[in-house]
Amino acid sequence: MASRKRREAFGKLRKLPSGRYQASYVGLDGVRYPASSTFDNATDARGWLALQRVALDSGNWSPADAARTAGRTKARADTLGDFAQDWLRTRVNRHGEGLRPRTRVEYQRLLSGPLAPLAAERVAMITPDMVRSWYAAQLESGTKTQTARAYGLLKSVLATAVQDGRIVTNPCMIRGAQNATTGKKVEPPTAAELQKILDSITPRYRAAVLLAAWAGTRFGELTELRRKDIKIIKNGPEVETIIVDVSRAVTHTTGVGFTVGPTKSAAGVRAIALPRHIHPDVLGHLRDNVGDFPDSLLFPARDGHSHLAESSFVKHWYPARAAAKRTDMPFHALRHYGATRFAQTGATLKEIQDRLGHSTAAAAMRYQHSAGRDIELANRMSDLA
């Protein structure tokens, strides 16, 4: 008479084609949990199941511990590419917000580009030596900054794998790899070069250059500014102060379009006093180039209401910087100019950070305590112009 297959008293046992045994059981939460590894024989597998039953019966079992064990098993099958896609889908910042569209697209680019050689590797099998070999190969390609960004992404993804219990330690252990730079220094324009740019730029963008240079606004902040964000404070008929309220930024992502959202960080929300000598240009721009509605963009696209794309703006910026013989200079260099000029007024490091949006302190309180001195220092900038 043929022998009947033994039915397990607890859990489930399965013999794999390799001859090894896989064990699993259903926890108190109704979820099935597999062992973190397979077994040489059925006796060892049943021994593991017996330990799990003791934990259940004694009250020492928890879904979190069981999930970590199951996670380690799943990690043997998960490739870096698969795990990274789950990471992108579920990633949130410290405020509980998901990735911004532009960030998501950039991460996808890194995963399909420099990180592609590791994508098929199982998460649990990626070693420090493997990461070092990949990193060295990327550096040899000459893309130092991109390699640093890709390494930073890889380290973050695998840090989540550690937190999830899928791997024990993060194999990304290269000191300083995430902070590698090209060593190229951004040189701001001289006063004469800035003046040449202002004289050469398309007139409707003259005020954009002035705000970037003297207020230190980023391009995404600048192109989301609206009439309601410009506060004009008068003393009688005279304009005493102009404050630029920066509270939003716009980004453009291929395939997504323009997205209006928060500034780069909480510190980016700030109130910036403009130096007196640029008041006439800003007021003239509001009069001649900006719609009358509060939500009218300061620097719209040619249609008058859409956001200005950087690819459109550079058609005006490139000839202007070429006229100043500074074809090496990115638009961001104007922000460096503003920081330098503000520092020359005697501003403290904290005041410079506040003005440029580099501090992590709460924005609203910072305006209240520093706005008065910011106006004073902004006026000193006019004396240096």
Catalytic residues: 218, 332, 335, 358, 367
The Cα–Cα gap between 375 and 193 comes to 26
Q: Do 154 and 138 meet the contact criterion of CB atoms below 8 Å apart?
A: no
Q: Do 379 and 240 meet the contact criterion of CB atoms below 8 Å apart?
A: no
Write the CA distances from 345 to 96, 309, 378, integer angstroms: 39, 34, 8
Burial of 4 (0-12, 13-18, 19+ CB in 10 A): exposed
The Cα–Cα gap between 180 and 160 comes to 22
The Cα–Cα gap between 2 and 365 comes to 82
The Cα–Cα gap between 319 and 211 comes to 19
From the list 213, 303, 217, the residue with the least C-alpha distance to 258 is 303
* Region for 236 from its dihedrals, namely left if φ exceeds 0, alpha if ψ lies in -120 to 50, beta otherwise: left
From the list 79, 170, 166, the residue with the least C-alpha distance to 121 is 79
The Cα–Cα gap between 247 and 262 comes to 7
> Helices 128-140 & 144-163, crossing angle to 10 degrees?
160
Q: Long-range contacts for 54-63 (Cβ within 8 Å, ≥24 apart)? A: 56/27, 56/28, 61/27, 61/28, 63/27, 63/28, 63/29, 63/31
From the list 120, 104, 11, 12, the residue with the least C-alpha distance to 56 is 11
CB contact set of 112 (below 8 Å; sequence gap of 6+): none
In 3-state terms, what secondary structure has residue 23?
strand
The Cα–Cα gap between 262 and 297 comes to 17
Q: Do 197 and 320 meet the contact criterion of CB atoms below 8 Å apart?
A: yes
